[in-house]
Amino acid sequence: MVDRLANSEANTRRISIVENCFGAAGQPLTIPGRVLIGEGVLTKLCRKKPKARQFFLFNDILVYGNIVIQKKKYNKQHIIPLENVTIDSIQDEGDLRNGWLIKTPTKSFAVYAATATEKSEWMNHINKCVSDLLSKSGKTPSNEHAAVWVPDSEATVCMRCQKAKFTPVNRRHHCRKCGFVVCGPCSEKRFLLPSQSSKPVRICDFCYDLLSTGEMTACQSARSDSYSQSPKSPLNDVSDDDDEDSSD
């Protein structure tokens, strides 16, 4: 089906419409063999709060952006190569329902669909596209992914020292390795995480010590242990940086 659509006029026209909606600030999306599989509005769990984002699933990439005018204009385009993507379902929690994690080596975040059926369709289509890509390339699925950031609202105090209270002056920061919300003194160090940045990035002291001694897997397991002790552990593993403010 995808192969038949690849060179069709209808597919070319649909992709051109998406390009026009992002305008000159967006990257060109039309390349030979690319097919637009589907599109829709999903709620993305950002650093500050859940926000509606327009998503476009192609057979090789996932594209999303901010909605300026529905079906007419979008900005802040993000392009994610599907061969690096893994997805995991998320349990419903309060008003956040029908969600799943989109995980990549550079960025990971949670999205939520309007209905369970829509969630199932999105996940099935993404998995099928990823499977087809890996099958054609002979590559293996990615087993490395960036930490999913804990939402700011989930932490009133530093998640490492458990003492520093966050205020307008004492700002929240995020460890790029474990995703915890931490205070400045607990995250003064930088460490090079090549999959996320060409420059050293902010990490908490706990992760820095583990990374410096080569105990990277211990860093991840420690993160899981900390989540399991949290009274709101389902939410703690399903957030990401805010598109408008990801500097900390």
- Provide the CATH number for the domain around residue 156: 3.30.40.10
Average pLDDT over residues 183-201: 94
pLDDT at 17 over 80: yes
**Assigned token pair, 217:** 């897997």
Q: Is 198 part of any domain?
A: yes
pLDDT recorded at residue 141: 82
| DSSP-assigned letter for residue 148 | B
Q: How far apart are CA 118 and CA 209, in angstroms?
A: 42
pLDDT at 229 over 70: no
Q: Is 219 part of any domain?
A: no
Residues 82 and 127 in one domain: yes
> Reduced to 3 DSSP states, what percent helix, strand and coil does the chain have, rounded to the nearest 5?
30, 25, 40
* pTM for this model (two decimals): 0.81
Q: How far apart are CA 241 and CA 248, in angstroms?
A: 9
**Assigned token pair, 89:** 């379902």
Q: Quickly state the pLDDT bin for 230 (edges 50, 70, 90).
A: very low
pLDDT recorded at residue 180: 95
Cα dihedral sign for 36, 37, 38, 39?
negative
- First-to-final CA distance of the chain: 43
Instruction: State the Rg of the chain over Cα.
Output: 19
What CA–CA distances, in Å, run from 211 to 14, 82, 226?
Answer: 46, 28, 18
Q: Is 114 part of any domain?
A: yes
Range scoring the smallest mean pLDDT among 3-12, 25-34, 191-200, 218-227: 218-227
Residue with tokens 């087993």: 143
pLDDT recorded at residue 2: 58
Q: Is 227 part of any domain?
A: no
Q: Is 90 part of any domain?
A: yes
Other C-beta atoms closer than 10 Å to the C-beta of 28 total 8
Residue with tokens 């349990």: 91
Cα dihedral sign for 220, 199, 47, 129?
negative
Mean pLDDT, rounded, of the chain: 86
Residue with tokens 């829709």: 40
Q: How far apart are CA 45 and CA 149, in angstroms?
A: 10
User: What domain count does the chain have?
Assistant: 2
What's the domain range around 159? 152-213
Residues 111 and 31 in one domain: yes
What CA–CA distances, in Å, run from 231 to 119, 125, 154, 224, 227?
Answer: 26, 33, 10, 13, 8
Q: Quickly state the pLDDT bin for 139 (edges 50, 70, 90).
A: confident
Q: Is 228 part of any domain?
A: no
Residues 65 and 106 in one domain: yes
Q: Is 145 part of any domain?
A: no
Q: Quickly state the pLDDT bin for 132 (edges 50, 70, 90).
A: very high
φ, ψ at 242 (rounded to 5°): -75, 135
Contact 60, 82 (CB under 8 A): yes
Nearest to 119 by CA among 55, 46, 74: 55
Q: Quickly state the pLDDT bin for 178 (edges 50, 70, 90).
A: very high
Range scoring the smallest mean pLDDT among 14-28, 47-61, 129-143, 152-166: 129-143
Q: Is 230 part of any domain?
A: no
Residues 6 and 71 in one domain: yes
